[in-house]
Structure 1
Amino acid sequence: MKIIILGAGQVGGTLAENLVGENNDITIVDKDPERLRELQDKYDLRVVNGYASHPRTLEEAGAGDADMLVAVTNSDETNMIACQVAFTLFNTPNRVARIRSPEYLRAKQRLFLSDAVPVDHLIAPEELVTSYIKRLIAYPGALQVVTFAEDKVSLVAVKAYYGGPLVGNALSTLREHMPHIDTRVAAIFRQGQPIRPKGTTVIEADDEVFFVAASGHIRDVMSELQRLEKPYKRIMIVGGGNIGAGLAKQLEIDYSVKLIERNLARAEYLSEKLQNTIVFCGDAADQELLSEENIEQVDVFIAVTNEDESNIMSAMLAKRMGAKKVMVLIQRGAYVDLVQGGNIDIAISPQQATISALLTHVRRGDIVSVSSLRRGAAEAIEAIAHGDSANSKVVGRAIGDIKLPPGTTIGAIVRGESVIIANDRTVIEQNDHVVMFLVDKKYVPDVERLFQPSPFFL
């Protein structure tokens, strides 16, 4: 596939890294020649130095015969105009744009149309991060929660703790503990390394366990893997930007929410806009302020300012002062692995959320959704099975007979309204939504080919 990426920032660079090894022809466009040289030295791709929305730049990048244009510059307006120019002048067939401004997003149903602003797929990072955090709050104790097939199936990561019901026991005992609930452990990471789960695999303390189940059964399965945490009630948010404000607005309906914003004018604005959230103007790294607001009673402290260091330091202070769980938003990918698992319970990367959404639109075959897991090392994919036993490598075949790429597990199948937890005897049917876990994303092209019907396959 010939793909043009506009913007060589963290998202554009990470997307290029994900796609360049998958037999794609990648061209990346940016105004910064040094950043382009850095990417060209690192990866096998073309670079074009210039303004992303200019017709001459897009022509040089090959918009005339490109399969897809992905606009992820730091400017919403540049991304929108680039899609317009690609559509009008070059008839580029697929156009994806990252849009951040709530003003544009509020009008997205009427604005992003072929006869208005021709964007085929909209990526809104703030909305993605807000939804992600909301899912983590809904499932106390989860490290990551990903949903598939219109929320019918969930893939959840939890850490197995000392004293937990399954630590020291084989996976086969999961069925004995929960005879009426179907679930499957899709992967286990032990000290950062993947372990292929078998019935005889014994779960150890500190294992990161990924399991798949019908969404309605997630809490029950989590209670088997660790001590189930009490539902959260009191939440403190630091940062009143788009993410903080959006999160407070969604959470204040069901939770007791406090929000700390450093800028006085912004704090006053939010206090008027939010109905049930208590808004403070102040510094979240101020011990006196945290003490006055009873930080020791807070169930979740969420730092989502634009400054990584501020988020990390305020969260560490809140944890030391008694906050039960702390989450931080981190822009720099290198920081995520450094901080998560110590004093910081969960580090959230907006780049990974954005990349997951982008990959959904870039993958070949009928890939419905892609979720980047473990900071991009692994992936969860939902694909639709098409064809029949004569032209498909999967339809009409039992999972045990399908030659899956190394490290790939089929966890669940959604057939109509039914959720089927997969085993080797499960036969895939036409139009099934198949949820898979890949411990190594380099095998994604093999999965894509597996789900593409071929007239030559018998």
Structure 2
Amino acid sequence: MNILILGAGRVGASVAESLVSEKNDITVIDTDPARLRDLQDRMDLRGVTGNGIQPSVLEAAGARDADMLIACAPSDETNLVACKVAHAVFGIPTRIARLRSPEFEQESPLLGTEGFAVDAVICPEESVTRTIRQLIEYPEALQVLQFAEGEVSLIAVRAVQGAPLVRHTMAELPTLVPQCEMRVVALYRKDGGGSEQRLACEGSTRIEAGDEVFVLTATVHIRRVLDGLSRRSAPIKRVMIAGGGRVGLRLAREIQGECRLKLIDTDLARCEYLTTQLNSASLVLHGDVTDEELLEREQVEETDLFLALTSDDEDNIMACLLAKRMGARRVLALINRRAYADLVQGTTIDIALSPAQAVIGELLAYVRRGDVQAVHSLRRGAAEALEAVARGDRKTSKVVGRRIEEIALPKGAQIGAIVRTIKDAQTDRRVIIPHHDTVIEQDDHVIVFVPRKRMMREVEKLFQVGATFFF
């Protein structure tokens, strides 16, 4: 696919890195030639210097042959105008804009073809907030991702010694948690040298304490799955946020009525603004998030969740390490640089969250071939889970009318769940955890776990309908 990316900032660079690895033809437009040189040195892509709202710059970038424009410049206005020009002048089929303002909702007529011609809106700040909200609701989880309009969830959890399902084999799970169908689609375990290895999810595979377990189940069963693999945590009631920027403020607004909230920022003027945006029960503090005396004075040891959400990766890492050492129950660091995220994996920092990775899945749903409804990027982009709709019939499809065991999935990939609309009851949907003899039907929503991104093309081909389907 020929893709134009407007903006070589953190989000644009992360998007480019993810899409280049899949052998797409990527061109990045930015006004800063130094940024573009850095990207070109690291990745196999083309850089064009200039203002991406100007038709001449888009023309030079190859807009006439482009399949998609992803506008993720810092300014909402730039991204909106770029999408309009891409549609009106060059007819680029798919146009995606990064928009920070909540005024522009996906269904707004302003974004239609008569307006700014935006097909999809992405907002890293909103995606990060949504992810953190899930982790507040399920504090034992490392990740909670939803498919099929919330009917199915993929849960990542660290197995804990003494939990009911730990030290048991996969084959034993159905009898240990009756009436709670689930499918373990991936299991990662550290070896003696500290490196993580992916284990085959077979009937004889035993779950051990410390394993990172990925489970697909109906959303209504999330709590039972977590209770089976972990130790139930007390509800999160005390939250401390380090950083009152866009992400910190957005999250604080959403949770201020649910938790006892403290928010720290180094900028005095920003703190004064924050006090006007939050209720009187929320405490805004001016200070350094890595100041041990400040954290001690504000009783960080009684904090249920410490969130480092500043724009500085180093500060976020240091603040989380300090808060954890001082007794915070759970800590989360917002980290933009992938190298840093890999570095902190497995340390005392419970969760490292990347704003760019939080939206990559939303973009990949437009890049994937076949009828793909949702994609989630996992393990810092190394793996994916996608929801694809089975179209066609047995003659035109490689999945419809076939048993799971007949489908030529790449090694390690798993079909973990199916969401099926019950015939004659169009609003009634059923979640199926499939077995080897389960037959996929037309219009089933199939959730597939793919352990390596390079396998994705094989999976996509399975859900592409043969040409005869259209005659």
Shorter chain as denominator, the TM-score bin is over 0.9
AA paired with 2:288?
A: D
Map residues 56-205 of structure 1 onto 2, 5 A cutoff.
56-102=56-102, 104-105=103-104, 109-191=108-190, 192-205=196-209
Partner of 1:441: 453
Cα 1:238–1:428, aligned 2, differ >3 Å: closer, same or farther?
A: same
The worse-fitting range, judged by mean Cα deviation, of 220-229 and 124-133 is: 220-229
> Tell me, what secondary structure is at the counterpart of 2:63?
coil
Residue 278 of structure 1: aligned partner: 283
Question: How far apart are 1:217 and its partner, in Å?
Answer: 0.5
Asked if 1:333 is matched to 2:321, the reply is: no
Q: Which residue of 2 aligns with 1:247?
A: 251
| 1:430 maps to which of 436, 442, 456 | 442
Offset at 1:34?
Answer: 4.4
Are the aligned partners of 1:11 and 1:355 in contact in 2 as well (CA < 8 Å)? no
Tell me the SS of whatever aligns to 2:64.
coil
TM (normalized to structure 1)?
0.94
In 2, distance between residues paired with 1:277 and 1:385?
48
Q: Point out the more displaced range, 312-321 or 6-15.
A: 6-15
Match of 1:305 among 303, 310, 314: 310
Moved more, 189-198 or 141-150: 189-198
Q: 1:222 deviation in Å?
A: 1.2
SS in 2 for 1:211: strand
Moved more, 397-406 or 108-117: 108-117
Whether the 8 Å contact between 2:106 and 2:121 is mirrored in structure 1 is: no
Number of corresponding residues: 456
* Overall identity of the aligned pairs, in %: 52
For residues 305 and 46 of structure 1, the distance between their equivalents in structure 2, rounded to whole angstroms, comes to 31
Which amino acid is 1:94 matched to?
Answer: T
Q: Are positions 1:9 and 2:9 aligned together?
A: yes
Report the Cα offset of residue 64 of structure 1.
1.6
SS in 2 for 1:314: helix
Post-superposition shift, 1:134?
0.6
Query: How far 1:132 moved relative to its partner?
Result: 0.5
Which residue is 1:314 aligned to? 319
Q: Deviations over 1:35-70 (max 9, x none)?
A: 434444554443323222221111122212321111
**C-alpha RMSD over aligned residues:** 2.0
Q: Report the TM-score when normalising by structure 2.
A: 0.92
Counterpart residue type for residue 246 of structure 2: N
Helix, strand or coil: the match of 2:294?
Answer: helix
- Contact 2:263/2:283 (8 A) holds in 1: yes
- Kept after mapping to 2: 8 A contact 1:385/1:433: yes
- TM-aligned CA deviation for residue 341 of structure 1: 2.6
Which of 344, 356, 359 in structure 2 is aligned with 1:354? 359
| Aligned residue number for residue 228 of structure 2 | 224
Equivalent residue number for residue 193 of structure 2: none
2:405 pairs with 1:400: yes
Matched, 1:266 2:270: yes
Matched residue type, 1:141: E
The residue number in structure 2 matching 1:420 is 432
Residue 49 of structure 1: aligned partner: 49
Q: 1:368 to 1:107 in 2, by over 3 A?
A: closer
**Alpha-carbon distance in structure 2 between the residues aligned to 1:108 and 1:307:** 34
| Aligned counterparts of 1:72 and 1:407: Cα–Cα separation in 2 | 34
Change in 2 beyond 3 A, CA 1:108/1:75: farther
CA distance in 2, matches of 1:372, 1:28: 22
Cα deviation, 1:277-317, whole Å, max 9, x if unaligned, reads 22222223233332232222111011111111221222222
Greater shift in the superposed pair: 72-81 or 105-114: 105-114
| Partner SS state of residue 90, structure 1 | coil
Say whether the 8 Å CA contact 2:15–2:356 is kept in structure 1: no
Unaligned regions of 5+ residues in structure 2, if any?
191-195, 422-428
| SS of equivalent to 2:145 | strand
- State how far apart, in whole Å, the 1-side matches of 2:286 and 2:104 are: 27
Q: CA deviation digits over 1:317-370, x for unaligned, max 9? A: 211211111111111111112123322111110010121221122222111111
**Mapped contact 2:165–2:176 kept (Cα < 8 A):** no
Q: Could you say what secondary structure the match of 1:436 adopts?
A: strand
